[in-house]
Structures are given as structure tokens and as C-alpha cells.
Amino acid sequence: MVRSMTGYGRKEDEKGALRVTVEIRSVNHRFSDILVRLPKAWTMLEDSVRKQVASFVRRGRVDVAIALEGEAAETRSEVEIDWHLANQFVQIAREMGERFSLETPLTPKDLLLLPGVVHTKDGKEHAEKDTGDWILDAVRAAAEDLLAMKQAEGTQLQMDLSKRLSQIREWVSQLQELVPQASEEYRKRLQQRMADMLNQVSVELDPQRIVQEVAIFAERSDISEEVTRLQSHCLQFSEQLGRDDAIGRGLDFLLQEMNREANTIASKANHLHIQHLAVDIKTELEKMREQVQNIE
């Protein structure tokens, strides 16, 4: 599917007191260039955001702006007890009491002071990861919105290019039919011109000379190779339009080659209709190239 390089995607979401806004703008560019703007406290997400957006963009300059408003909910530390370890300490204390006839009991305070029994879990790290994942989800939603717009515009571009390509193919077919006619018309004009000149003098018309002149003209003005290459380029262009890939640069190259063939045809053909067709083809190719500049 053809994709445009220009598009816009946006996503807003709320989570508690937090509000995130993600805006993604894409414009024409020769390569893929993704710029990310994040709040200073969340710059650690830059690489993740870039990778997220890159999966939706094959070529173009993309600006990703992420704004975060509000404050995250207060995170509190939690106390965790390693009950298995505490139980081992209690069992050991009892065995030591029996073995050494000790009567001093092991109090809860004693247990809490033993290494490894109590752990304090900071909830901030978990909250930051959760918020970071939420921001990345918003980025993905905005990127999907961007892609939908790029695909919609790409469909319109594909329809327009296909229509113009069909017209060029029709003109190329006309060129192919005119190639033998051009030589025949030149032969008739040359024969008439020489006959008019010879009517003024007593010299016999040499048919062989006319044949030679027509052969020279046909060789110099032969555009059959250029027409064949134009047909081939049109076929390749049509095939490229059907690919689900970054085809913009390939299409631009084909249009340059087609324009080169049209220029050669216009300069070689000493035939008014052929020259007019070549100009029409060049004009249509220029319009197509303007459209192709906007394709990924």
C-alpha cells in the first residue's frame, strides 16, 4: 500500500492526576529522521519512543512532541518480611536455648533487627515503570493515528498516479503507431519538394536518391528504442505502485528515466504530432514527480 510521507497523529489520555498529550507530525524527507521531545524528567524514554514510532514510519522527517501535565500519585514504601528466614532464626534460637540452657526469649524486636528478615520496597520505581509504559501506549496510539492518515493520503496518490500513468501509456502507444508513418510522410514531402524543384530545370528525378534520403532520415529520427524503454518504465512503475514497501525513491528514479526518453523522442523526431505527444508526456511526468515527492 502506498503511503504518504505527510501526516499527523494525536493522542490524549489521563491517569489519575496525570494527563499526557502526544502529537506526531511527519513531512517529506529523503531519509527517515525521527526527532523526540520529552519532558526533562522522562528523557530516559527517548530511545523507546523513537523505536515505537519507527515501526510506523519508513521514510520522512517525524517530530514527536510529548507533554505531561499534573503530578503522579504519591508512592509509599512497603515493608516486607522474609518469614522463612525469620522462622529459621526462631528455630535456631530455640535450639541454642535448649543446648546452652538459656532462658532469654527471642523478641519480635530482636527478629526485626536480624539481617535479611525485613526488606523495604520502594514503590517509586514501580510507579515510574508503570507511568512510562502508559506514555509509550499513548505514543503507539498517536503513531497509529498518523499511519491511518498517511495511508488514506497514499491511497489518493496511488489513484492519481495510476490515472496519469494510464494516459502516458496511451500516448506511448500512439507514438509507436506514428513511427513508420513519420518516415512515409517524410518520403512524400521530400519527393514532392524535389519534384517541384525539378519542374524548374530539365533534370530527371532519381528515385534511388529519394530512397537514400528517406533511409538516412529514418535512421536519425528512429525513436523505436526510446518508445520500448518508455513502455518498460511504465510497466515497472505500475509494479512498484503495487508493492507494500518504501517505493518513493524508486518511483522518482523511474520518472527521471521516463523524462529522459521523452526528451530524446522530442529532439529526434522530425514530426509535429510526435513532438506534441512527447511534450504532453513530459508535462504529465512533471505532475507525477510532484506527487511522488510525497510518497514514502
Under CATH, domain 7-73+125-152 is a member of which superfamily?
A: GHMP Kinase, N-terminal domain (3.30.230.70)
pLDDT recorded at residue 211: 58
CATH architecture assignment, domain 155-292: Up-down Bundle (1.20)
pLDDT recorded at residue 187: 59
Instruction: Tell me the three-class secondary structure of 42-104, residue by residue.
Output: HHHHHHHHHHHHHCCCCCEEEEEEEEEECCCCCCCCEEEECHHHHHHHHHHHHHHHHHHCCCC
Q: What is the pLDDT along the chain (296 residues), one digit of tens a residue?
A: 899 999 999 999 999 889 999 999 999 998 999 999 999 989 999 999 999 999 999 999 999 999 999 875 444 556 778 888 888 888 888 888 777 777 777 777 777 777 887 776 654 555 678 899 999 999 999 999 999 999 999 999 999 999 999 999 999 999 888 877 766 665 566 556 655 655 665 555 556 665 565 555 555 657 888 899 999 999 999 999 988 888 999 999 999 999 999 999 888 777 788 889 999 999 999 999 999 999 99
Rounded to an integer, what distance in angstroms lies between the CA atom of residue 254 and that of residue 239?
12
The ranges of the chain annotated as CATH 3.30.230.70 are 7-73+125-152
Rounded to an integer, what distance in angstroms lies between the CA atom of residue 232 and that of residue 245?
21
Rounded to an integer, what distance in angstroms lies between the CA atom of residue 275 and that of residue 265?
7
SS3 247: coil
The ranges of the chain annotated as CATH 1.20.140 are 155-292
pLDDT recorded at residue 207: 64
Rounded to an integer, what distance in angstroms lies between the CA atom of residue 287 and that of residue 289?
5
Polymer length in residues for the chain: 296
